[in-house]
Amino acid sequence: MSRPAVVAKIGTSSITSSTGELRPDAIAKFCAEVAEVHHAGHDVVVVTSGAISAGLPALGFDSSARPRDAVTLQAVSSVGQHRLLQLYDEALGRHGLIGGQVLLSPIDFMVRQQYLHARNTLGRLLELGVIPVINENDAVADDAVRWGDNDRIAALVAHLVQAELLVLLTDAPGLLTADPRIDSSASLIEEVIEIDHELESLAGGAGSVRGSGGMASKIQAAKMAAWSGVRTVIAAADRPSVLAGAVNGAEGVGTVVQPRESSLNARRLWIAFGSAARGHITVDAGARRALLEHPRSLLAAGVVEVAGEFDADDAVEILGPDGVVFGKGLVRVSAPRCREMAGRRSADLPDGTAPEIIHRDDLVMLA
């Protein structure tokens, strides 16, 4: 991948009507902009939502009142996937481009062999001049190991293809200072240096009935991208030449989230931002200092309190004595066992008991 790469994600609300039906004109507008950026010398990877919206009418479901159970939605997605891709094929074909469907799940980023396979496949598609069109593999995804939105898949793809830019296109101009439906003085936040709790609170909750992410998931995706060294632009899909504007750094194109100086690998990105925390572990000041200053494992001796009910290999947040989260990791023991071990020195544990609550290979510092 010698050409600079751009990952462009578009959400369901941006390519469907108010009644939930797919809008070929919106997909055509997006693909025209993908072609513009591609012909200007960039590799472009598309991440798209909309498979469920494409499948609903084919199965006779009312688009405005879609089913709620996961199995039916997975079946609808299966029916809609190729219908959605057909619209992309037609729209890209008008500009002399070929689309190639790639279905990904979070596990493709967790398992090293699958990660390398995905990277090699995407790399070869780009070498062949193909526009990869990516969606989450909803039809067969395990509900316990899935995103439920494509924003964070897009962030991981940006890391995978070593993109210079992630563009998240939505029905808002970017992150605003307030909800414009409540505060008419709300204005665009044009640049974000670092995403903190205050900024996350501005993003609010989920998006529209048709979509599954909303601004909150876009901020989380931008945060993931920042931690992998990728710049993100959150912008309105209906803005003219929005994709080229994001690539060229046009003023006011949307909210630009700058990358961090240090970055995480794909597995640590998954631990930090992809896996839902099943509980939290509070540690003492000494353990907090040791973890932040050195790449060490969290030992039982430093644990002060255990909250939540989790199993071995679940993700948990790590809190300091002040109650502030500063890390996250995959635990090696269940919550009951963790409580039994809490505060005990390695020498005081039963013979054969490993003292690590979280091994350093499964630990990410977020402070």
What are the boundaries of each domain within the chain? 5-268, 275-365
Q: Is 316 helix (H, G, I), strand (E, B) or coil?
A: strand
CB contact at 8 A, 308 and 338 = no
Q: What angle do CA 271, 152, 156 make, to 5 degrees?
A: 70
Q: Which residue is listed with tokens 């939505």? A: 170
Confidence check: pLDDT of 160 > 80:
yes
Contact 195, 226 (CB under 8 A): yes
pLDDT at 1: 52
Q: Taking residues 154-165, what's their average pLDDT?
A: 93
Q: Please state, in angstroms and rounded to a whole number, the distance separating the CA atoms of residues 171 and 15.
A: 9
> Domain spanning 275-365: which superfamily?
PUA domain (2.30.130.10)
**Pairing between β-strand 5-10 and β-strand 43-48 as defined by DSSP bridges:** parallel
d(CA 349, CA 102): 48
Quote the CA–CA distance of 140 and 145 in Å, as a whole number. Answer: 11
- Please indicate whether residue 94 or residue 54 has the higher confidence score (pLDDT): 94
Q: What is the CATH number of domain 5-268?
A: 3.40.1160.10
Model pLDDT for residues 233-282, shown as the tens digit of each residue: 999 999 999 999 999 999 999 999 999 887 787 788 878 876 779 999 99
Contacts of 273 (CB under 8 A, 6+ apart): 152, 155, 220, 223, 224, 227
Q: Give the pLDDT score at 344.
A: 94
At 67, is the pLDDT very low, low, confident or very high (cuts 50, 70, 90)? confident
pLDDT in tens, 305-345: 999 999 999 999 999 999 999 999 999 999 999 999 999 99
How much is the pLDDT for 208? 45
Residue 206 pLDDT = 45
pLDDT at 139: 63
Residue type for 188, please? L
Contact of 65 with 52, CB cutoff 8 Å: no
Q: What kind and span of H or E run contains 73? A: helix 70-93
